[in-house]
Amino acid sequence: MTSIHDQAMNHVYQQILQRLLGFFSRAERTALQLLIQRLVVAAGGMERLADYKVLVIQNGSRDSCYTLALLRAAQLSIAGRAPTTFRLRVASLAQNGVSASALDNIHNSYSALFLYDDSRVEVLKVDNREVLPFTHPTPISEAGREINRLNLLMVGHRRESDEAADLWDNGYLATGEFYGQIARWDGGVDALVSSETPRQQKHFLCGLKRATAKAGFLPSRCNEAGFEDLFTLLDELGAECYRGFEPELMQPHWRPAELFETCRRTTFIDIHDMLVSNLEERWPLLTELLGFQPDGLMAYASDNESVSLELSAHVRGLQACFMDGDSYDSGVAEFFQRALVMMRRKQLTDRVCQQAAQVFGKLCADAEQRALGTAHTQKYLGLSEAQLVCLLFAPFVNKGAGLERFLRRCHPGMLVAMPDLHRAMQGHAVSEQILQWMVDVSGLPVILMGKLYRMEQVVERAQDACAITCDTDNTQEGEWSTGR
């Protein structure tokens, strides 16, 4: 019975492979053979492939779905002509802000590629530092949602208050920690495979270092150029990337703890050069076979699928309104103008740019844009407009150095209570009304505000080569691209 079942499943897998190959161009088929060769060499020969495990990250984005399809084609191609093939670990990270369409894209790609029932494939997710089988539809847990919200606020409040582009640095830190730990779980993996470009890799590493500094840890290495050095950096950071905020933050430990390897053996395999087709050529494979549904213009315009364009525009509008003395609408319009410029610099087609210009124009003209942005922020990040504005000002660090500016701009009626606000963050007793106002306006418990009060603002050093690189990338990408 088992033999009959295995034969039937092998037939199904070969059908999946033929469907995949049917969507590949001649150049993509050539790239597939080069990918197979690269994996065989990395494993040490065909005879060692059965013990070789590859990690690929799936976040529901266009590129991650395409990369997974390419790796699955390689796995099934080898299986069709050799006794064994490599094993595959596919993992996703549950984060605030992940849309329902992204979760659907993950599930649809897994189903289309028949990953769920293949013993050669592990389909995993990490939620609140716990490794679990991926199930659909399962949004982030309430505990995970809350700790993600607090992490975002704690990391964000240590930035320079006039710089909004690094508001989402916690995403780098959470993702980096995820990479390091999922690579060590349950026997570990031999290689992380990624199709990110060298610029994207450098951008991520710079963001990760910026975020780790805000979390209270400064890595000794600062000149990494790509993911070849990613795991060296992650090994230095260790399992507790947020330890600078402990014990007040009270994050759970990674679990199940007994399944994490002490040592990591993972290397990096770069396949960005294997993505030979352009965006337009990939759409049939993505939409017809994998069931991919683009989330608005994110699939065209942004390198950061975890932060929507609408949310980034909303943040720029609030920054213009509360910090620059300008109007909300002017900030949103400026943001979309920059986004459109960057789309053209990335040489996207005229059709896509024209479509984007139409959508951006409608958003700018929408009188409800601010209300929609506020609702979006509350739904996906768990933050009210007041809490997001407070995060923009970052008024608590450096013993509340920015508190007076924040109050004058946003809450002038509380200026009279400023001494009590300082006393509360110093750990002294104040009225319950003052404490409740602090919690409501910041989204943080008073104990974490006190933690920030005792911490310094993290200022990028101009002489830091990594900081220079990040500044250059931010300028090139515009405020709408804040990471991957």
DSSP string, 257-270: GGGB-SS---EEEE
Cβ atoms 299, 290 nearer than 8 A: no
- Alpha carbon 229 to its chain's center: 19
Would you say residue 251 lies in a domain? yes
Number of folded domains that form the chain? 2
Place of tokens 């000002």: 393
Within 47-180, strands assigned E span 53-57, 87-93, 121-127, 130-133
Whether 75 and 202 share a structural domain:
yes
| Span 433-461, average pLDDT | 93
Last-in-domain residue among 231, 255, 289: 289
By DSSP bridging, strand 130-133 and strand 121-127 are: antiparallel
Alpha helices in 265-308 (DSSP H): 279-283, 298-301
Last-in-domain residue among 289, 324, 346: 289
Calpha distance 270→291 (Å, rounded): 26
Last-in-domain residue among 248, 264, 289: 289
Calpha distance 311→335 (Å, rounded): 11
Would you say residue 252 lies in a domain? yes
Lowest mean pLDDT among 276-285, 297-306, 473-482: 473-482
Lowest mean pLDDT among 48-57, 165-174, 248-257, 411-420: 165-174
Q: pLDDT digit string (tens) for 88-113?
A: 999 999 999 888 888 999 999 999 99
| Span 221-241, average pLDDT | 80
Would you say residue 370 lies in a domain? no
| Span 214-228, average pLDDT | 76
The secondary element (H helix, E strand) that includes residue 191 is strand 191-194
Whether 9 and 149 share a structural domain:
yes
Which residues form the domain of 108?
2-289
CB atoms within 10 A of CB 46: 15
116: Cβ contacts below 8 Å, ≥ 6 apart: 110, 123
Beta bridge partners of 88: 54, 121
Whether 161 and 277 share a structural domain:
yes
362: Cβ contacts below 8 Å, ≥ 6 apart: none
pLDDT classification of 409: cutoffs 50, 70, 90: very high
What pLDDT, on the 0 to 100 scale, is given for residue 220? 65
257: Cβ contacts below 8 Å, ≥ 6 apart: none
Would you say residue 95 lies in a domain? yes
Would you say residue 343 lies in a domain? no
Whether 283 and 419 share a structural domain:
no
pLDDT classification of 395: cutoffs 50, 70, 90: very high
Q: Give the CA radius of gyration of the chain.
A: 23
Would you say residue 53 lies in a domain? yes
The strand order across the sheet containing 191-194 reads 130-133, 121-127, 87-93, 53-57, 191-194, 267-270
pLDDT at 472 over 70: no
In the DSSP assignment, the letter for residue 49 is G
Cβ atoms 225, 186 nearer than 8 A: no
Amino acid at 251: Q
Cβ atoms 365, 418 nearer than 8 A: no
What pLDDT, on the 0 to 100 scale, is given for residue 168? 86
| Span 333-362, average pLDDT | 81
Cβ atoms 444, 201 nearer than 8 A: no
Whether 131 and 274 share a structural domain:
yes
In the DSSP assignment, the letter for residue 117 is T
Would you say residue 222 lies in a domain? yes
Whether 281 and 404 share a structural domain:
no
Residue 293 CB burial class (10 angstroms; 0-12, 13-18, ≥19): middle
61: Cβ contacts below 8 Å, ≥ 6 apart: 102, 105, 298, 299, 305
What pLDDT, on the 0 to 100 scale, is given for residue 369? 86
What pLDDT, on the 0 to 100 scale, is given for residue 464? 47
Calpha distance 378→370 (Å, rounded): 12
What pLDDT, on the 0 to 100 scale, is given for residue 467? 45
Whether 406 and 265 share a structural domain:
no
Calpha distance 277→19 (Å, rounded): 17
Q: What is the mean pLDDT of the chain?
A: 87
Cβ atoms 106, 115 nearer than 8 A: no
pLDDT at 301 over 70: no
For the record, the structure tokens of 59 come out as 């976040």
pLDDT classification of 134: cutoffs 50, 70, 90: very high
Would you say residue 356 lies in a domain? no
pLDDT at 340 over 80: yes
CB atoms within 10 A of CB 263: 7
What pLDDT, on the 0 to 100 scale, is given for residue 164? 66
| Span 131-152, average pLDDT | 94
Cβ atoms 171, 210 nearer than 8 A: no
